[in-house]
Amino acid sequence: VLNFQLSNDFYVRRVIKNYLEGDIESKEYACLLSWNNIYYSKPTIKPMAQKKVIRLGLIQWQMRLYKKYGEVIEQAEYFIDAVSGYRSDFDLFPEFFNAPLMAEFNHLSEADAIRELAKYTERFKEDFSRLAITYNINIIT
């Protein structure tokens, strides 16, 4: 069975025991074959130089009362603009920077208020994506 492969420059890397249980003809053995492709050449294009140092902008966010969503984005843009001015690679926002928007839902339970806050997710994604492109920075929220 291996004559064809061996005559075409395949070589046996190893014999595998108990490969196919119940295979009487092979006595449950198999061969792991390898073949060197003479037409393959490694890519000659070198990858771009990788950065060894990054600039990380960490934002300290003072919790303020925001009356509407746009005020949060306006404040975020202020910090994104400032950090990108330092040619930062990444801009890291605090975990619950959007928590003041829950004030609108004070009449609800905590769990329900968080669910209502989650409804802003798509708007945040769109606005922060736009800001990331505008200021050429990676934003982590």
Task: Indicate the domain borders of the chain.
Answer: 3-35, 56-140
Identity of the amino acid at 70 = G
Going through the chain in order, the beta strands assigned E by DSSP cover 10-17, 29-35, 56-58, 90-92, 138-140
Q: Residue 17, Cβ neighbours under 10 Å: how many?
A: 9
- What pTM did the predictor assign? 0.60
Summarised one tens digit per residue, pLDDT across range 10-58 is 999 999 999 888 888 889 999 999 999 888 888 787 777 777 888 999 9
Angle at 134 between CA 102 and CA 96, to 5 degrees: 20
pLDDT of residue 37: 87
Q: Residue 97, Cβ neighbours under 10 Å: how many?
A: 17
